[in-house]
Chains A and B, each alone.
Chain A
Amino acid sequence: MSSVAASPSLPASGTVRARRPSVLTVYRWELRKLRSQKRTYMGFGLAVLLPVIFVVVQNLHQHHDHGGGDSIFAAQITQSGLATPVLMLLFESVFMLPLIASLVAGDVVAAEDGNGTLKTILTRSVDRGQVFAAKVLAAVTYGAIAVFLSAGVATVGGVASWGFNQITTFSGSVVSAPEGLLLVFAANVCYLIPLLTVVCIGVMLSTTTRNSTAAVVGTVGITILLFIIAGIPGLEGIKPYLLTEQYENWHGLLRTPTDWAPIWHSLWVCALYAVPSLIAAYLVFLRRDVAGG
C-alpha cells in the first residue's frame, strides 16, 4: 500500500439490497475447502488403499488358498469379482469407514474455530443456519464419497482379477453379475444410514468441543464404546438398538427374498442417534459466542 494515492478508486459503498447466497453456494465452498486440505486426501487414500491391498494380497495367495473363511463371500473370492466389494464392506464397515467419515465430520466446525475463520465467514451475508447446513452437507458428502470410492475400487479390482461373474448370496441363491452389481451398490447405499449417523455425531462433537482432535477421537471412541457395550453379557436386550449393530443392516439385501426389516429397523434406530445430535449441534452453533481468533 505504499502508493495509496495512486491506487485504483475504491469500490462505491453499496446501498442496494443484495441477493443473499443460498445454502448451495455455501455448500459448494465447503467442498472446495475440503478439496484444498490434506486431511481430505488422507481419508480418501485409506478408502482406496485398503481394497487395493486386499486385491493384491488375494491375487498373491489365490493359488494356495481358495478362500474358505467364515463368510460365503470369502469362499467365492476367486470365483466372482463381485465378492470383493462385499467383503470389503464387511471389513471396513465396522471401523475403517466410520474413522474416515469422522476425520472430516469431527473437523468441519472445530477447524474453523481453531483457525479463527468462523468469525470471518459469520460476518458475511450468510446466516449461521446456512453455514451449519452447508457444513453438515459437506461432511455427509465426504462420508458418502469415501464409501463409494472404496466400493468402486474394490469392485474394479475384484472384477479385473476374478471376472464379472454371477454370485451366491447369503441365502444361497445365485444372482447374475448385473444383478449382483446392483446389490453391491444398494448394500453400500444402505450402509450410508449408520455411517451418516456417525457423521452427525462427529458434527455434534466438532461443534460442542471446538477441538478437531477431541471430536475425531470422540466420534471413534463412541463407536468403540458401543461395541464394548454390545459385548457385555446381560445387555443383549439393548443390542438391537446400538448404532454399531446397524452397520450390518445391508445384509438383508443379499438374501432371497430380500429382508427389508433390518434396513427399516436401522432407519429409525439411527434417527434416534442422528436427529438429537444434529439438533444439539445446530442449537449450539446458532447460539454460541464466537470469541476466539
Chain B
Amino acid sequence: MLGTRATEDAARDDEAPPPVKARGLVKRYKDVLAVDHIDLNVQAGDVYGFLGPNGAGKTTTLRMALGLITPSDGAVELFGRDPLREGARALEGVAGFVEAPRFYPYMTGRKNLELLAALDGAGARERIEEVLAIVELVPRGKHKVGGYSHGMRQRLGIAAALLRRPRLLILDEPATGLDPAGMRDMRALIRRLAEEGITVLLSSHQLPEVQELCDRVAIVDRGKVVYEGALADLRRQGGAGYRLRTSDDARALELMRGRQGIEQPVVGEHGIAFQAQESDVGALSLALGAAGVGILALSPELATLEDLFFRLTESNGADPASPEGDGRPPAAGALVGAP
C-alpha cells in the first residue's frame, strides 16, 4: 500500500509543472530588442544559473517571470501559472528580488519585514525573528534601513524572500557589492537553501559563483539564449583539454605541432596546454617516448566556465550566420556559437 502511494506521489511529482517555464519570451522597448525569444526550463531542485554579460537581458527576463513587466511576446509560467494572468496567485511559493532589493529607508529592517509579512499573510509574521537570525541581522533589525550598508540590504532581501517559505527563489546578482566574506557567506546560504529543496534561479555574471553553485545554466547574450542545459554538458562540449609537462617542452612542442589530432598546443607556465581526442593523446605519449622526451605529467583539463562563457558570448553576434541568427533559441543542451 505504502509502495503504491509512493509511486503515485512520484508520478504526481513528475506531472507537476516546472518551477519556471518560459517560451519565446520577447521584450521590445521601441527599437531595442532587450529579450529575443528566450526559452527557460528550470526544473524542481535545480540551482539554475542565468548567466550573461551586463545588458544581456537577464534582469528583464526575471522581471517578466515575476510579472513586473509585460512581455512583448511569449509567455512564462511559474509552477504552471502565468503571473500576468493570475497576478499574486502565480507567485505562491515564489520569492526573490530583481536588481538590488529595495526597502523603505525610513522604517527599520524589522518593520520592513513586518510590512512584507503582512502582504504575504499565512503566518509570515511569525517567521520574522527566524529569518533575521538566518541572515544575522537580529541586532540591526531595529535600525532604519536608510543606514544599512549594501551588504546588509542584500541580506535583508534574502530574509524578505525567506519569509514567504519559497519553493522557488529568484535571485538577481545576490553577491553584487558584497565583500569577499559576504560573497562566501551568500554562496553558503544559497547552497544551504538548495539543500533544503528550494529551487534556485540565480542570475549572475560572476562565473565562479555560478560554477560553484549551479548544476544547470542558461547563458544569454544580446537578449538570446546561446546555451541552455547542464553545466557539465557545457564543459564537455567545450572540448577536452590536456596539460602536459615533459623533460623537454621545446622538443615536445615541435613534435606536437606536426601531429594529426593535436590542436592548439601552447606553452605556458605550467607546461603545454592542448586539445585532442583521447586516442590521439595515447598516440602522442608513445611518440614522445620514442623521441626520447620524458613525460613528467599528463592531465586532462575541462574548459572552465569562464572560457566557455567568453567563447559563447564573444562569438555570438560576431558571426551573423550563426544558428541563432534566425531569432530562434537553440535546442536545450546545445552549444551555440562555440567554435
| A residues at B contact (CB < 8 Å) | 1-5, 7-8, 10-21, 25-26, 28-29, 32-33, 36-38, 115-117, 119-128, 287, 289-291, 293
Number of residue pairs across A and B with beta carbons under 8 Å?
A: 154
Taken residue by residue from 130 to 172, chain B's Cβ proximity to chain A (1 for < 8 Å, 0 otherwise) reads as: 1101111000000000000000000100001011111100000
- A16 to chain B: which residues have CB within 8 Å? 122
Q: Given A4-B188, A21-B118, A123-B95, list of 10 further CB < 8 A pairs?
A: A4-B185, A13-B196, A14-B164, A26-B119, A119-B63, A119-B97, A119-B102, A120-B101, A123-B68, A290-B63
Residues A7 and B133 in contact in the complex (CB < 8 Å), given A115-B102, A123-B96, A289-B68: yes
Interface residue stretch chosen among B103-111, B232-240, B290-298:
B103-111
Residue of B nearest to A19 (CB): B121
- A123 to chain B: which residues have CB within 8 Å? 66-68, 91, 94-97
User: When the two chains form the complex, which single residue of B107, B120, B193 contacts A10, counting CB atoms closer than 8 Å?
Assistant: B193
* Minimum distance in angstroms from A15 CB to a CB of chain B: 7
Verify if B88 is at the interface (C-beta below 8 Å from A). Answer: yes
Verify if B181 is at the interface (C-beta below 8 Å from A). Answer: yes
Residues from 55 to 72 in B contacting A, C-beta threshold 8 Å: 60, 63, 66-70
- B111 to chain A: which residues have CB within 8 Å? 32, 36
Q: For A2, A32, A116, A124, which residue has the most chain B Cβ atoms within 10 angstroms?
A: A124
Contact A125 B91 (CB under 8 A): yes
- A20 to chain B: which residues have CB within 8 Å? 88-89, 121
Verify if B189 is at the interface (C-beta below 8 Å from A). Answer: yes
Verify if B87 is at the interface (C-beta below 8 Å from A). Answer: yes
Contact B119 A25 (CB under 8 A): yes
Docked complex Cα distance between A18 and B95 (Å): 14
Verify if B261 is at the interface (C-beta below 8 Å from A). Answer: no
Docked complex Cα distance between A134 and B197 (Å): 35
- 21 A-B pairs with CB atoms under 8 Å apart are A1-B136, A7-B136, A10-B192, A10-B193, A11-B165, A12-B196, A14-B166, A15-B167, A16-B122, A18-B92, A19-B121, A20-B88, A25-B118, A33-B115, A36-B111, A117-B102, A117-B104, A124-B164, A125-B88, A125-B121, A290-B63
- B189 to chain A: which residues have CB within 8 Å? 1, 4
Verify if B284 is at the interface (C-beta below 8 Å from A). Answer: no
Contact A11 B130 (CB under 8 A): yes
Contact B87 A128 (CB under 8 A): yes
Contact A7 B122 (CB under 8 A): no
- A18 to chain B: which residues have CB within 8 Å? 92, 120-122
Contact A8 B68 (CB under 8 A): no
- A33 to chain B: which residues have CB within 8 Å? 104, 107, 115
Contact B182 A1 (CB under 8 A): yes
Verify if B23 is at the interface (C-beta below 8 Å from A). Answer: no
User: When the two chains form the complex, which single residue of B99, B101, B122 contacts A125, counting CB atoms closer than 8 Å?
Assistant: B122
Pairs A-B, 4 closest by C-beta atoms? A18-B122, A1-B185, A14-B165, A116-B102
Verify if B245 is at the interface (C-beta below 8 Å from A). Answer: no
Contact A125 B167 (CB under 8 A): no
Residue of B nearest to A20 (CB): B121
- A26 to chain B: which residues have CB within 8 Å? 118-119
Contact B93 A14 (CB under 8 A): yes
Contact A11 B162 (CB under 8 A): yes
Contact A21 B121 (CB under 8 A): yes
Verify if B116 is at the interface (C-beta below 8 Å from A). Answer: yes
Contact A291 B69 (CB under 8 A): yes
Docked complex Cα distance between A287 and B186 (Å): 34
Q: For A25, A33, A123, which residue has the most chain B Cβ atoms within 10 angstroms?
A: A123
Residues A37 and B106 in contact in the complex (CB < 8 Å), given A4-B192, A19-B121: yes
Contact A32 B188 (CB under 8 A): no
Contact B120 A125 (CB under 8 A): yes
User: When the two chains form the complex, which single residue of B104, B120, B130, B131 contacts A115, counting CB atoms closer than 8 Å?
Assistant: B104
Residues A124 and B116 in contact in the complex (CB < 8 Å), given A13-B166, A14-B167: yes
Q: For A13, A33, A287, which residue has the most chain B Cβ atoms within 10 angstroms?
A: A13
- B136 to chain A: which residues have CB within 8 Å? 1-3, 7
- B130 to chain A: which residues have CB within 8 Å? 8, 11
User: When the two chains form the complex, which single residue of B95, B119, B165 contacts A12, counting CB atoms closer than 8 Å?
Assistant: B165
Taken residue by residue from 66 to 92, chain B's Cβ proximity to chain A (1 for < 8 Å, 0 otherwise) reads as: 111110000000000000000111011
User: When the two chains form the complex, which single residue of B67, B93, B134, B182 contacts A15, counting CB atoms closer than 8 Å?
Assistant: B93
Q: For B68, B70, B95, which residue has the most chain A Cβ atoms within 10 angstroms?
A: B68
Docked complex Cα distance between A237 and B167 (Å): 63
* Minimum distance in angstroms from B271 CB to a CB of chain A: 38
Docked complex Cα distance between A1 and B103 (Å): 20
- A38 to chain B: which residues have CB within 8 Å? 106
